[in-house]
Amino acid sequence: MHLDHAQHGPAAVSADSARPDGTRRALRIGLGGPVGSGKTATVAALCRTLRDELSIAVVTNDIYTREDAAFLLREAVLPPERIQAVETGACPHTAIRDDISANLEAVEDLEDSIAPLDLILVESGGDNLTATFSRGLVDAQIFVIDVAGGDDIPRKGGPGVTTSDLLVVNKTDLAPHVGSDLEGMARDAGAQRGELPVAFTSLKSEDGVKPVADWVRGQLAAWTA
């Protein structure tokens, strides 16, 4: 069993890849998942790993604050003009699924001010297992859960677990401490997701984000093909 490598799986990109001026727009990838699973840490690690090979920008969503953007700025993962924050109010899932206007505006602002961009990462506010992105906002989505949230989460399903283009099971370093069964999680995720890929990560280890970064590279290769 390969617990640490994501298969690339079929590219899940939509067809409207052109900007109004005919140039190709950036690939938009959403990251969603429960509170504290490691979405911001994954975004930060992806930026550090990919920023020398790709032109990247980030949109963060927080309920009442701009804390995730502030973290990314503090960590200097990208220049400040490449990071935009959206405050969502009480329902983070609404801003990524139902009324996506604030997020679309942020994405389009970044496209206009920092062309050319290869990749825009849109991080949702922490939510529950049912929160997914509108396909009108992102081309592909990653759902981040963690082993400390309970090793029965893949078995419970929900649209994030079953339909996301990549499922990330983060914080594998904590598995021995919380008694999580990684093999069982991999089996349950496979049963829920069929051929869709799953990556097991620990962002505490050197290059722990590699399986996610490789998956992003695969999505971009399909986007630009």
Binding residues for GTP: 33-40
Q: Is 36 in the site for ligand GTP (CB under 6 A)?
A: yes
Q: Is 170 in the site for ligand GTP (CB under 6 A)?
A: yes
- Please choose, from the candidates 64, 70, 65, the residue with its C-alpha nearest in 3D space to the C-alpha of residue 40: 70
Whole-number Å distance between alpha carbons of 140 and 13: 6
Q: What are phi and psi of 67, to 5 degrees?
A: -65, -40
Piece of 50-58, 81-89, 165-173, 191-199 that binds ligand GTP (CB under 6 A):
165-173
Whole-number Å distance between alpha carbons of 100 and 133: 9
* Contact predicate 122/96, CB 8 Å: yes
Q: Which of 27, 29, 41, 47 binds ligand GTP (CB under 6 A)?
A: 41
* Contact predicate 193/27, CB 8 Å: no
Q: Which of 122, 203, 209, 213 binds ligand GTP (CB under 6 A)?
A: 203
Enumerate residues 6+ apart whose C-beta is below 8 A from 57.
26, 78, 82, 83, 84, 110, 114, 117, 119, 120, 121
In terms of CB distance, is 117 or 203 closer to ligand GTP? 203
Piece of 32-40, 131-139, 149-157, 187-195 that binds ligand GTP (CB under 6 A):
32-40
- Shortest Å, Cβ 75 to ligand GTP: 11
Q: Name the H helices within 2-122.
A: 39-50, 67-74, 92-97, 101-113
Q: Is 58 in the site for ligand GTP (CB under 6 A)?
A: no
Residue 116 CA to chain centroid, in angstroms?
A: 21
Piece of 3-11, 110-118, 157-165, 199-207 that binds ligand GTP (CB under 6 A):
199-207
- Shortest Å, Cβ 210 to ligand GTP: 13
In terms of CB distance, is 17 or 36 closer to ligand GTP? 36
Enumerate binding residues for ligand GTP (CB under 6 A).
35-41, 68, 126, 170-171, 173-174, 202-204
